[in-house]
Every structure is written in structure tokens, then in C-alpha cells.
A and B are shown apart, each in its own frame.
Chain A
Amino acid sequence: MKSWLTTTDHKRIGLLYFWTAFAFFLVGGLEALIIRAQLASPSGIGVRAETFNQLFTMHGTTMVFLALMPLSAAFFNFIIPLQIGARDVAFPRLNAFSYWVFLLGGLFLNASFVAGPLFGAGRLSVAPDAGWFGYANLTSRQFSPGPNVDFWLLGLQILGIASLAAGFNFVVTILNMRAPGMRMLRLPPFAWMTLITQFLVITAFPVITVALVLLMFDRLFGTHFFLPSGGGDPVLWQHLFWMFGHPEVYILILPAMGIVSEVLPTFSRKPLFGYTVVVYSGVVIAFLGWGVWAHHMFASGLGPIADSVFAGATMLIAIPTGVKIFNWIGTLWGGQIRFTTSLLFAVGFIAMFIIGGLSGVTHASAPTDLQQTDTYYVVAHIHYVLFGGTILGLFAGMYYWWPKMTGRLLSERLGKVHFWLTMIGMNLAFFPMHLSGLLGMPRRIYTYSPELGVAGFNLVSTIGAFLVGIASLVFLWNMLRTHREPVTAPANPWNAATLEWAIPSPPPVYNFTVIPTVTNRLPLWQTERHGPMAPLPERPPTPIHVPGGSWWPMITAAGLPIMAIGALGRFLPVVFAGLLILIVGIYRWAFEPFEM
């Protein structure tokens, strides 16, 4: 127990990230199922309007910040140091700090479900209820007098710190901790996409931090940053939010693209088609991703010039994305394909992401977007890219790396049940939303008129959502049952090419007995140009120093939610107590003897 609380081992932190994020994924999924049950018929099952608002807000916030980002982070932590031939990340304690901040921030956010009595709210739940992008002036004191929005803005500030700390850590890790010979264009595509993602994190998160701080000033201290009554402009919130929010969607999708770019070559027995182009398209996507935020805001009336510029830039993104898709298909083309569950999910990713990408192109055009804004069509789009894209990609990664992470193989039979149920379920759930949206069903309504003619589509969506729920339970069972099995996975069960497969499954605490020297991009494969690298010695020839654990990352992290609790209750002594813990933690951390 103590060794897990104080761990600085990237592999353990990766597993902690994985299980925590998966638990939040189930919570977010449960919220989705209640939403869908309510919408199955026009009059619903009796969920009240306020509860419904909380459910869709927390579903979006949980899935984006507590499930998808940290599930990607689980793979960053576990896999990246192994892929680049390192013994750990550049800053192991900072890594532990990121995890604890994420965990505590997530718990803080979800504590709002039961914190009502503490605020005399008259109901149990005071969860955030202003939507996951918290538009002003819905978030103002006037329209949201309770603590709900405070939970949201404080929780997201805490989670932002976790992401930023991890961002600096992985930028340095990938650039500086590479094994000798691992030049940039020998980096595995997943490491490349992770690097690009971290650059987006460290540039986008400061912007949302500023937006949240300004909102906090409005709510706690009575300023008027987003309140027209004092001259403020609610549209500024939209700009600041989406300036973060659009890079954020690439933060969510690029890691999944990286995973797919690892899985497809392995199970096609072919190197990734056009590796360099795939890498550069990732860079171009990230770069363009910074210049398109206002396409979320066409309905706010930006004027013809801004509309045209942002519409054009958005359409440009289809080019590098299309390039990637053709390269993935080119990788499969003529390969010796093995239809493992991992490959099925990767192929499913390509197909579903194309649908999501195409509906995305339709939003890029300002006139059509005006028809789609705030309808279920947008909900369909976001779920095709974030579920059909990110989650299917993450599932591909889970089946692919599970043996490396645990030393056990997931059942392929259950895996295929999981895959087909997920595919059928998600298409049933999300495809009809395009139609109900175009027929005029607004998002975020808890009942609707039977005359709208969308009841049938909604029923189908609900059935699909429950199929996805069953599929997730099958997967959960698949994961849990492997824990009873012996650790028998071979070092390289899939015959993959990258360095993480050169060491035992699960890897020893020091990862590599000897740091390998890399001479090509596919070190474990026999290709036309080179043979596989020599196996590493089974035992380390010289003793390897492994850094010990530390309590201070966790203690320092605990200061942040305490400060947030103080701000929530308007009780300054608690804020100062949290600050004190933070400062003491930082000092003890800085002066702790910790050898790397």
C-alpha cells in the first residue's frame, strides 16, 4: 500500500492512471445511460430538469477531463519511457504529483453530487449544471446562485495543473530521455503524437486557466468580466474557452491516432505506410488546430471576415487528417492481416472517425453550421470523433498493451464480443442523432414534443447506448478475469517492432537491463535493410540504481483541493491551510534527497 502511495515508477503511475480513469469512464457512462433512458420517450422517466442539466454537464466534463485524457495519460506513462528506451520519465516525482492532482481534482468535482446538504441546498446533489463549456452568462451568480458552477471552475483549475505538469514532463522525457540513436524520425508514431499532444497541452491549458480565473473573480469577488451589466462581454468567454477547447479536441484524438499507427503495422506485418507523412500531418493538425477555435462560435455573429477565415482554416484541417487516413489504409493494403481484437478496434477507429470527420467538415461551413448549432447533429459529430475516434483507439491500445502492462493476455473471444457490441451499439446510439438533430431536436433538453417526430430516433439511440453499456461491462469482466490468471504473456506476443516489446511482460522495475542503442525505426523486425536487434541480457550486467518513493508529491497535491474547498465555502483560513500544505510540500520536495 505504502509503496503505491509513494511510488514514482512510471509503470505503477500508469496503472494508477488507468484504473482511476476507467472508474471515471464508468461513472460518465452511467450518467450517459440515465440521460438516454430519460430521452427514450418524449415525456421521459421522471428525471427532473435540474438533475438532467447536472447529468449532461458532468457527463461531458467527466468524459473529457477524467476519462479520455487520463486514459491517454495511462499509456503515456506506461508506454512512452519503454518505447524510447528510458528507465523512467524525466521527473518521476512530478509525474506522481500529476497523478495525485488528477485523482483529487476528479474526486473534488464528483463530490458535488453529494455535497448539497453542506451548502443548505435543499437537495443532495449540487453538481455543475451549466454545460461542459460553461457559457457565460449562464455561469453568473445571477443565473447560477448555488455552488454548482464553483465546483466546476475550481475542479477544472485543479485538473489543469495536473495536465500542465504532465505536459512539461513528457515534452522533456520524449526529447531528452531517448536511448542513444533514437533520432526524431526513429521515434515510434505513438511517441510522436504524444509529443505533439503535450505541446498542445502546455499552450492551450494556460488559456482555459485564465478564463476560469476570470470567471472565478466574477463569481467570488463580484467583477464583471463576462457580465454585460458591467460592460463585460459574454462572447469573450466563448473565445477563451474555445481557444483552449479546440486544441483540446486534438489533445483527445492525437494519442488515439498514435495508438492506431502502432497497432495497424503490427497486425499487418508491414511498416507504417508513409511514416514521415503521418508524423508531419500530426504536426500540421496541431498547428492548424490553434487557428480554428471560432468555428464553434459562428452563431455568435463574428462578421463575414472572421467567419470566412475560420471556415477556411477549418476545412484545411481535413487535408492532413485525410492524409493520415489514407496512410492507415495503405498500411493495411497488401499486409498479412491478423484480425485480433486490437486490430478490429483500430479499423473501427478509421471507419468511425471518417464519419465524424465528414460531419465535422459540414460544420466548417458557416451557413450550414448555423442550422446545426446546438442541435443533436453536433452531439452526433462529437460522439463519432470522441467515441468512434478516441475511445475505439484507446480500446485498441488496451488490447494491444494489456499483456505488456499486466503480463496477461485479454481473452480474444470476449474481446470480439466487446468489439461487435460496441460497434453496433455506438452506431445505433449516435447515427440517428444526425437525423433527429437535422429535424430540429435541440441538445440539452430533458423532454420533447411528440409532434417533432424524433421519438423513434431517440428510442433507437437509447437502445444503442445500452448496448455500449453492456459492451463495457463485457470488457470490464475481461480485464478483471485476467487477474486470476498466471503471468504468462511472452515479451513480444504480437511480434511487434518497437522497443517496449524487447523487455519482459510486465517489465522489471528498471525496464531495460542495458539501455539499447537504436539503429533504425523498427528495431525488433527483420526488414530488407536490417535484421532484428540483438536480445538484451536477461540480467543487468551492472547494478541499476532505481529511485525510491516519495510522499511529497501526494502531500503537495493535497494542498490544491483543500484550497479549492476553502474557496468553495468562502472560508479563508482553509484556503491558507491548503496554501501552507502546498508550500511546505514544495520545500520538502525540493530539499529531499532523491537520486535519479
Chain B
Amino acid sequence: MSEQQAHATTGTYLRVAAILVMITLIEVGVFYVPAFQSALVPVLLVLSAIKFALVVMFYMHLKFDNRFFTFLFGGPLLLGLFVVVSLLFIFYGSVRLRTGM
């Protein structure tokens, strides 16, 4: 583990903040542009995932910190994602069955 030399600097923090603000602007922009309506959901999900990852990696220092913390956070995070996705499958799947669509 030789991460400790690579600690983030104030410059990094500011650059990350700039990217976060830019992505947020894009998100809101995409929301208002009618041409994007069909691809809105996947685009927004990807953009917010990028923001999520940036904050966790740089502001919460997971990129530079011990890998074990990534495991401690990432394991339950994936589990939470699994819960959301499987519940959506179950509920929207069964709705389709019930209504015969």
C-alpha cells in the first residue's frame, strides 16, 4: 500500500467540485431538452453514478485509503442496489402478469 503519498490536494478538491457542478448542470439541462426524453433515464442514472463515485473516491478518500474500507462500504452498497433492482423486477414483473400487458 503506497497510497499515502498520493493524498488529494486542495487543487484536486476544487477540480472535483467543478466537475460535480458541471454534471449537475448537464443533468438539469438534459431534463429540459425534449430531444433527450427517450434516453433520459439511462443518461441520468449514469451521470448520477459518476457524481456518486467522484464524491466517494475523492471527498471520502476511498481512492487513497485502505482497500478494506472500500469493501466495508462497497459490499453493503451492492447489496442495497441488489435489493432495489430485485424489488423493481418483482413488482413491475408481477404487475405486468396481473394486467396481462
Answer whether A and B touch in the complex at a CB cut-off of 8 Å.
Answer: yes
Query: Taking beta carbons and an 8 Å cutoff, which residues of A are in contact with B?
Result: 175, 199, 202-203, 207, 233, 236, 239, 243, 290-291, 294, 301-303, 305-306
Is the CB of B97 closer than 8 A to any CB of chain A?
yes
B83 contacts A303, C-beta separation under 8 Å: no
Tell me the minimal C-beta distance from B95 to chain A in angstroms: 10
Report the separation of the CA atoms of residues A305 and B91 in the bound assembly, to the nearest whole angstrom.
12
In the complex with contacts A202-B76, A203-B79, A290-B79, A303-B87 CB distance below 8 A: no
Q: Is the CB of B76 within 8 A of A302?
A: no
With both chains docked as a complex, state the minimum distance between the C-beta of A573 and any C-beta of chain B, in angstroms.
36
The answer to whether the Cβ of B70 comes within 8 Å of any Cβ in the partner chain is: no
Closest 6 CB pairs of A and B: A303-B97, A303-B94, A203-B76, A306-B90, A203-B79, A303-B93
Q: What's the nearest-Cβ distance from chain A to residue B76, in Å?
A: 5
How long is the Cα–Cα vector from A232 to B87 in the complex, in angstroms?
15
| Cα separation A35 to B8 with both chains bound (whole Å) | 64
Interface pair A302/B90, CB less than 8 Å apart: yes
B79–A239 touching, CB < 8 Å: no
- B89 nearest in chain A by CB position: A306
Question: How many B residues have CB within 8 A of the partner chain?
Answer: 13
Choose one: A199, A202, A294; the contact of B90 (CB below 8 Å): A294
Q: Is the CB of A302 within 8 A of B83?
A: no
Tell me the complex Cα distance, A20–B89, Å. 43
A-contact bits for B38-53, CB 8 A (1 contact / 0 none): 0000000000000000
Q: Which residue of A lies closest to B90 (CB)?
A: A306
Shortest CB distance A377–B (Å)? 26
Contact residues in B for A236 (Cβ distance below 8 Å):
91
Cβ–Cβ < 8 Å partners of B94 in chain A = 301-303, 306
Complex CA–CA separation, A485 to B99 (angstroms) = 72
CA distance A203 to B79 in the complex (A): 8
Q: Which residues of A contact B82 (CB under 8 A)?
A: 290-291
In B40-85, which residues have CB < 8 Å from any A CB?
A: 68, 75-76, 79, 82-83
B contact residues around A202 at 8 Å (CB) = 76
Q: B96: nearest residue on chain A (CB-CB)?
A: A303
Q: Report B-chain residues with C-beta under 8 Å of the C-beta of A291.
A: 82
Decide if A239 touches B76 in the complex (CB within 8 Å): no
Task: Give the contacting residue for B93; candidates A199, A239, A290, A305; CB below 8 A.
Answer: A305
Give complex CA distance A239, B97 in Å.
Answer: 18
- Complex: chain A residue closest to B97, CB-CB: A303
Q: In the complex, what residues of B have CB within 8 A of residue A294's CB? A: 90
In the bound complex, CA of A202 to CA of B76 (Å): 9
Q: Taking the nearest CB of chain B, how far is it from the CB of A225, in angstroms?
A: 14
Residues of A within 8 A of B68 (CB): 175
The residues of B that contact A290 with a CB separation of less than 8 Å are: 79, 82
A202 nearest in chain B by CB position: B76
Residues of A within 8 A of B89 (CB): 306
A301 to B83, CA, bound (A): 19
B6 to chain A, nearest CB (A): 24
How distant is the Cα of A546 from the Cα of B23 in the complex, in angstroms? Answer: 52
How far does the Cβ of B82 sit from chain A's closest Cβ, in whole Å? 8
Residue on B nearest A172 in the bound complex, by CB: B72
7 residue pairs from A and B, CB less than 8 Å apart: A175-B68, A199-B75, A290-B79, A302-B90, A303-B90, A306-B89, A306-B93
